[in-house]
Each structure stands twice: as structure tokens, then as C-alpha cells.
Amino acid sequence: MRILPQFLTILTCCFALAEVTFAQQLKEPKTEYKTVENVLYREADDATDYMKERCRLDVYYPTDGRAYSTVVWFHGGGLTSGNRSIPRQLREQGIAVVAVNYRLSPKVKSPAYIEDAAAAVAWTLRNIETYGGSSDKVFVSGHSAGGYLTSMIGLDKRWLAAHNIDADQIAGLIPFSGHTITHFTVRAERGIDGNQPIIDDMAPLFHVRPDCPPLLLITGDRELEMLGRYEENAYLWRMMQVVKHPNTRIYELDGYNHGQMADPAHPLLLRFVKEISSVNQ
């Protein structure tokens, strides 16, 4: 006998809640995003045509100007191929993404691509506030070769120092499946076999230090990854513990190979960016 009145009460409450939600949506329009393309981030009197061609970036950003966080994103391709793009999973997430091209081997040799990566990050730190972002919340990330570049410019301070910038201004480093030993393309340029591991000043591992930015290491499944990629990153994680770095984390994505791991890694990146950015408010 009392079931029908209770049902009607519940139904009325549901309609009222739906009306409130709809009203809120009307009051809070969806954030719009813009993309500024093909920005030259390295200018020099002696710049070559190849530098002018490759040293370009795109800025994808929300237009609400709320001092948002930014991810500088370096593409993969073994330092020999690839082109910039805005990862689909990072679109419409309340952050800016700066997608970067850099010069490639064999047209250039090490450390030209590292110098380009540093110049792109320096440009971002100096210019992102023009687009409404915060220079205190600039993160650096990338997949494979892009992960290597991320770690090199964040751990080895000399590359950003060339632009009068302290690498510790970076809010966080998030390499996806990046070499932590000397990159195989750098080794190939020196005539060293790709199966011969080298750790020298072109290796992120060479520059382990306790005062670097927060570091999130992500790789694919150790059994499916490129040779030793998980173990390299695990060793970097361990050495960061040894030197007492306060915020280094590592994730191994079971069941994903080197190429597949980027998609499930992006949510981890976004969570890390949100967490660190909340501290840097």
C-alpha cells in the first residue's frame, strides 16, 4: 500500500537532481582549447635550414587562463625518426601540451637533439604564461627516445643551464620507457654495438642526484619491453633511493610491450601532474 507513494517521492527527487545538474552544466560551459602550431623555438644567426625545419613546436592549451599545468611532450622514434603530435589521452584534460620536434640522427649527432629538447623546455618555461599557464607547473614527458630526452635534460643540469635556467624549475619528469643508459643511437654514432650497454655522461643514470625534480618512471612489461628497458629504469629507481631522492616512483605495465605502453601510461601521468601541481599552487 505504501510502495507507490514512496516510488513517486523517489522519482520526484531524481527529476529535481537532474534539473540541478542540467542547470549547473548551463552555468559552467565546457572549457575551450586552442592550438598554436609550428612555433620556432630556436632562433640563431647561424641557424641551418634543418634547424629551422625541425625546431618547431605546437602549443595546445585551455583558454580559461587558470594558471594550468603544462606537459612538454617529446615524440619517440629512436632519435632517428618521428614527428610531434598532441597525445589523444592528454586532450581536454585541463592542461596544456607542448608537442616538440627536434633534429634527428644521422643529419645531426649527439648532443644536438638533447640541446634542442632543452631549448624547447626553456622556451616553454619562458612563454607558457603568455598562453595562461603557470611556469611553476611545467612537466616534461615523452615516449621511448622522448623519455630519454626527458631524463637527460632533467637530470643533467648543463643543458638547461645553457639557457640560464635551473633544471629544478621543472615541476616533474615523466619518461615513458626511456633509456637510462646511453641511448643506442648515441652508441651507434660512436660505432658501438646496440647490445653493448654504456653508462657515461650521455646516460641519465650518470646524473643521479637527490635534488632533481619529482620523477615518475613508467615502462611496459619486462618480458615484452625492448631489451632491458624495465631493468634500466628499475636501476635508476634504486639509485634514486640510495641517494635519498624524496619522490621517485616506478610502474611496470603488465601485458604491454614497448609500443603499447603509452596509452595506459597517460592516466598515471595525469594523476602525477595533478598531485604535484596541487603542491605547487
Average pLDDT of adjacent 10-residue blocks, the chain of 281 residues? 44 46 51 97 90 98 94 98 98 98 98 98 98 98 98 98 98 98 98 96 98 98 97 98 98 98 98 94 72
Grid cell at residue 231: 631493468
Grid cell at residue 139: 612537466
Burial 172-201 (b: 16+ CB within 10 A, else e): bbbbbbbbbbbbbbbbbbeeeeeeeeeeee
pLDDT score of 257: 98
Q: For residue range 103-126, what is the model confidence (pLDDT) as tens digits?
A: 999 999 999 999 999 999 999 999
Alpha-carbon gap, residue 264 to 250, rounded angstroms: 14
Q: Position 191: which residue type? A: G
The secondary element (H helix, E strand) that includes residue 253 is: strand 248-253
pLDDT score of 2: 42
pLDDT score of 7: 44
Number of residues written out for the chain:
281
What predicted TM-score, i.e. pTM, was given to this entire model? 0.90
End-to-end CA distance of the chain: 56
pLDDT score of 170: 98
Q: Which residues contact 163 (CB under 8 A, 6 or more apart)?
A: 118, 119, 122
pLDDT score of 29: 64
Alpha-carbon gap, residue 157 to 152, rounded angstroms: 8
pLDDT score of 21: 46
Classify residue 104 by its DSSP letter. -
Among the residues of the chain, which ranges form H helices?
3-27, 49-54, 112-127, 145-155, 158-161, 184-189, 229-242, 262-279
Q: Indicate the pairing of strand 33-40 with strand 68-74.
A: unpaired
The secondary element (H helix, E strand) that includes residue 74 is: strand 68-74
Could you tell me the fold of the domain covering 32-279? Answer: Rossmann fold (3.40.50)
User: Could you state, in order of their start, the residue ranges of all structural domains in the chain?
Assistant: 32-279
Between helix 112-127 and helix 145-155 the angle, nearest 10°, is: 70
Alpha-carbon gap, residue 268 to 175, rounded angstroms: 11
Q: For residue range 187-235, what is the model confidence (pLDDT) as tens digits?
A: 999 999 999 999 999 999 999 999 999 999 999 999 999 999 999 999 9
Q: Do residues 35 and 7 touch, judged by C-beta distance below 8 A? A: no
Alpha-carbon gap, residue 54 to 51, rounded angstroms: 5
Phi, psi of 116 (to 5 degrees): -65, -45
